[in-house]
Copies of this chain bind each other. A is one copy, B any other.
Amino acid sequence: MPEPTPVPMSATLAADEAMARRRRAGEEVLSMTSGEIGLPVHPALAERLAAAVGDNAYGPVAGSKALREAAAGYWGRRGLGTDPGLVVAGPGSKPLLFALLLAVGGDVVVPVPSWVSYAAQARLAGARPVAVPILTGQGGVPAPERLREAVAGARAAGQDPRCVVVTVPDNPTGTVASPDTVRRLAAVCRDLDLVIISDEIYRDLVYDASAPAESPALHAPERTVVTTGLTKSLALGGWRTGVARLPDGDLGRALHSRLVSIASQIWSSPTAPVQRAAAYAFGEPPEITEHIAACRRLHETVVCAVADRFAAAGAVLAPVRATSYLYPDFEPLRERLARRHGIHHGEALARCLSERHGLGVLPASAFGESRHVLRLRAATSRLYGDADEQRRAALAASDPLELPWIRAAVDRIGTVLTGLSETGVAPDPQS
């Protein structure tokens, strides 16, 4: 008999709702809690969705042929030839990830740190997460040799890990595992007979085009499932659209069939009108590609400016190479934070920044790390403005840091952090 799983509310969504409530109450808060991208819908996609409002049939469980073909083309252009018959679309990549855990069965290896929902989903699926640390500066992928040890240990202890979830590029660290690490991970997974579920939703948000993210599907094609969506690259979180690419071969076909069955019982099919717009987006017409490039440049400029403020205050962090996330470590300031502010762990640090200074950030414990560490995740994609007009200006600006509202946000972050690290009491930025 299953007990109701004591699963927590998604930390990002919970914190985001809390920030929204404070904002509605008149507080001047800077929300850096969730990975929601605060940018407008591209007009070409809005147009496609508006043209599809008459689509009210369920359509195929796995999504329309047009969407599956477009997603296959998207992957094909990235070196991953894809059979549209092995693509499954869903209402977001999140439900696809959950259904994949049910389809694979067994326990689930998750990197530490990693996105808030992997471990929670594993528990909801009745599995026990097996936590494996990353290599420094290479988030999203369990250190391959640590993975080997952890799986051997878990198996010896009676657990049954059958898959590992990886995030390339990574949330929460904003880093990208190196091709060598990904290759070694793939080899270990083959040795251990583990399915790899590769969450590549940030793939198009790697800043340096000459060093793209490496998919494990290149190295272990027979056992790697890839998921992505339009939430991050095109700011379409509220449209709820994602796709999964199942591996070719016997394992992939069996997983595909189980995934479609599970989808048919949990959500029926992806929202039909959204599918039409998503198919257009995955087709990557020039205006969409250019728009994503502009978004990427904006993310890079702002997240790096904010990372500089954290570094200037004495936190250490790996260079941010993708996404709009940074993951600073205040360990060098541990003694000072304890003495001057009574802050002894990451949760207290996040609470101080969020509640006292209105800078909404999440502690590393939300991502599976020990409560003790002084690491935080900050997401900068909500700093582009409160209204679409500001957000469009941010996208169009040659230097978005010169826009007064972005400049003010970055300055405020710098002021709060400097105050935190230097003085007994940080100045109140609202005074």
A49 touches B53 (CB 8 A): yes
The chain B residue sitting closest to A236, CB to CB, is: B56
Distance in angstroms from A100 CB to nearest chain B CB is 10
* Minimal beta-carbon separation of A40 from chain B (angstroms): 7
| SS of A interface (majority) | loop
Question: Contacting A1 at CB < 8 Å: which of B57, B61, B127, B265?
Answer: B127
On chain B, the residues within 8 Å of A262 by CB distance are 5, 7, 124
Whether A13 is near chain B, meaning CB under 8 Å from some CB there, is: yes
> Which of B54, B94, B270 makes the CB contact (< 8 A) with A266?
B94
Q: Does A264 contact B (CB under 8 A)?
A: yes
Set B102, B239, B270: member contacting A56, Cβ < 8 A: B239
> Would you call B237 and A58 a contact (CB within 8 A)?
yes
CA distance A41 to B52 in the complex (A): 11
Q: Does A103 contact B (CB under 8 A)?
A: yes
- A92–B266 Cα distance when bound, in Å, is 9
Query: Could you tell me if A125 and B2 are in contact, using CB atoms closer than 8 angstroms?
Result: yes
A274 contact set on B, CB distance < 8 A:
271
Is A416 positioned at the interface, with any CB of B under 8 Å from its CB? Answer: no
Q: What are the interface flags for A258-279 relative to B under an 8 Å C-beta threshold, 1 for contact and 0 otherwise?
A: 1011101111111111100000
Contact partner, A102, options B4, B91, B260, Cβ 8 Å = B4
Query: Told that A14-B264, A50-B53, A267-B267 touch, could you supply 12 new A-B pairs with CB distance under 8 A?
Result: A1-B106, A2-B126, A4-B104, A4-B106, A5-B102, A9-B260, A10-B61, A36-B58, A46-B53, A55-B238, A121-B265, A240-B270
The 5 closest A-B pairs by CB, nearest first: A238-B272, A4-B105, A1-B160, A10-B264, A2-B126
